[in-house]
Amino acid sequence: MASQQKPGRAVSRRHVLRSGAAALGGSAAFLAGGGAAAQNAQAPAVLTGTQTGRTFRGLVRHDSTLDVQELRLLPIDARQVVIRSQAVAPCYTIVRGALGTNTTRRPEVPNHCGFGVVEGVGAMVKRVQVGDRVVVAGTSQCGQCYQCLQGRPDYCQFTFFSNAPGVEAFPPFAEMRDGTRVYAQAGIGGMSEIMTAFEEYCVPIFSDLPAAELTLLGDQLASGFAAGHAEMHFQPGCDVVIFGAGPVGVGAIQAGRVTGAGQVIAIDPIKYRREFALKMGATLALDPVAEGDGLVERVRELCRGPNDRRFAGGVSWGRAGNAVMARGADFVVEAAGFQAFPPKAEPQPDPTNVRTVQQAWDCTRMGGHVMLMGFTLQPVSFPGPALALLGRTIHPGQQGGLHVMRDIPRYVKLIEKGAIDAKSMITKRYTLAESRQAVQDSADRTIMTGVIEFA
Ligand SMILES: [Zn+2]
Ligand SMILES: [Zn+2]
């Protein structure tokens, strides 16, 4: 994984040569923003410098605590953007790290997405300008790495660069009063009044929609919708099953509704989430605890189609074995995920999520499509012959296959025309001072999506 460092730096050096800013040194240099921008045809209209030294507040996980700290901005990289945050929705993925009581490796502002207004840009930033409203997405799209060139920007190597063990991909972006350096989680953070993000993660938004709705396109809602739209390509009239009716799962449910799926079956142990799923487009909501061991068979029955006749398009004709293999949903999304903490709502039947992943696969018909988004931290086993021969296509769940620069602007239009309902997803709003509680409520699963709005 460490070798991923090379392409990232090679790209950045090539950028430098092209723009004529030869000042960048051999390693990841920190340039003062502004100077070289005048040489660039797509340079921002307003030069603001790096904003270095400005103070702001942010939620910081440090030592064994999580609290709001006063921070001071450090110099930005030539390709970084300074963003004044307007709204952010903490992702369930972060709750384990954020609320843990172990001593952290380094102080960090949690989360991996956000939304705000650009207030400063490094000298080489091209994609956004000062004054732009931007979604900072959980995945980058650089357009130049191997994955982007293969048409897989959902695996943009700029994003995965940050996950390489032992590699300090992103510099600290701020310091606390005592000078302790503070990092942004995944190079993004989001739960602070100021974010700095590399331009590869920034998607400019040309819309007047409220920040609280647009911030949902940085991660959960966009990822869930992309599962159906961008990666699996739900078809009108098809049968869709969604495990987990949280913020991601409901995004996928909305993709089912927008696509005109025949059935959208939501599966979640939490009663208010099943009720919410029905409002957002699910045609049926099942409780996996009540269904117990019969869950997979129940879904297969629901997806058996209107007839069993071989020559009339019947799904489940033939001998018993064939009939069972043939039945199931056309598209299944596993968006339940493992349980980081015991919730205050109804708990998952399997907190590790291993069983849910297997059930998602089992609920998919031969030749159907299944996406594993929520995942488990444990090994999962599948029956070998069936895995090889029964034709379920397993789709990777990394942001649902979202191509951020292509898809987020499309989803903005769908919110504007009322096709995607972002507003109803927001079930509680918080101030920055209440941001720790927002993370706690997410961990407790007492809310659908909490949004922190910055003053
Ligand atoms: Zn996330
Ligand atoms: Zn890329």
Residues with CB in 5 Å of ion ligand 2: 142, 145, 148, 156
Ligand nearest to the CA of 146: 2
- CA of 107 from ligand 2 middle (Å) equals 27
Q: DSSP of 240-280, one letter per residue?
A: EEEE--SHHHHHHHHHHHHHT-SEEEEE-S-HHHHHHHHHT
β-strand partners of 60 = 67
For residue range 140-193, what is the model confidence (pLDDT) as tens digits?
999 999 999 999 999 999 887 655 666 677 889 999 999 999 999 999 999 999
Q: Which helix (H) or strand (E) holds 283?
A: none
- CA of 113 from ligand 1 middle (Å) equals 8
Per-residue pLDDT, 46: 44
- CA of 138 from ligand 1 middle (Å) equals 7
Ligand nearest to the CA of 97: 1
Environment class of 176 (CB within 10 Å of its CB; exposed 0-12, middle 13-18, buried 19+): middle
CB contact set of 150 (below 8 Å; sequence gap of 6+)? none
Longest dimension (CA), the chain: 76
Q: Can you tell me the distance from the alpha carbon of 165 to that of 156, in angstroms, rounded to the nearest whole number?
A: 17
**Alpha carbons within 13 A on the beta-carbon side of 389:** 6
Q: What are the Cα distances from residue 19, in Å, to 127, 128, 146, 416, 447? A: 14, 16, 22, 37, 47
Lookup result for tokens 């005048």: 38
Ligand nearest to the CA of 216: 1
Task: Say whether pLDDT at 356 is over 50.
Answer: yes
Instruction: For residue 90, give both structure tokens.
Output: 């903490």
Which ranges of 83-219 would DSSP assign to H, the alpha helix? 95-99, 146-149, 157-161, 211-214
Across residues 322-338, what is the average pLDDT?
Answer: 87
Q: For the chain, what's the residue count?
A: 455
Instruction: For residue 344, give both structure tokens.
Output: 């205050």
Mean pLDDT of the chain: 88
For residue range 413-429, what is the model confidence (pLDDT) as tens digits?
999 999 999 999 999 99
Amino acid found at 308:
D
Task: Say whether pLDDT at 113 is over 80.
Answer: yes
Angle subtended at Cα 126 by Cα 124 and Cα 128, rounded to the nearest 5 degrees = 120
CB contact set of 228 (below 8 Å; sequence gap of 6+)? 234, 240, 252, 255, 256, 259, 331, 333, 400
Ligand nearest to the CA of 373: 1
**pTM exceeds 0.85, yes or no:** yes
Q: How many CB atoms lie within 10 A of CB 104?
A: 17
Per-residue pLDDT, 319: 66
- CA of 153 from ligand 2 middle (Å) equals 6
- CA of 163 from ligand 2 middle (Å) equals 14
Closest of 173, 169, 225 to residue 53, by C-alpha? 173
- CA of 394 from ligand 2 middle (Å) equals 23
Per-residue pLDDT, 21: 31
Q: Can you tell me the distance from the alpha carbon of 83 to that of 221, in angstroms, rounded to the nearest whole number?
A: 21
Ligand nearest to the CA of 150: 2
Ligand nearest to the CA of 161: 2
For residue range 207-241, what is the model confidence (pLDDT) as tens digits?
999 999 999 999 999 999 999 999 999 999 999 99
- CA of 279 from ligand 2 middle (Å) equals 37
Lookup result for tokens 């100077």: 35
Per-residue pLDDT, 135: 98
CB contact set of 403 (below 8 Å; sequence gap of 6+)? 141, 153, 154, 226, 230
Q: Can you tell me the distance from the alpha carbon of 285 to that of 266, in angstroms, rounded to the nearest whole number?
A: 5
Amino acid found at 342:
P
Ligand nearest to the CA of 91: 1
- CA of 380 from ligand 2 middle (Å) equals 30
Environment class of 348 (CB within 10 Å of its CB; exposed 0-12, middle 13-18, buried 19+): buried
Closest of 322, 343, 376 to residue 99, by C-alpha? 343
Is the distance from CB of 136 to CB of 113 less than 8 angstroms?
yes
Ligand nearest to the CA of 404: 2
Torsion of CA 339, 344, 348, 350, to 10 degrees: 60
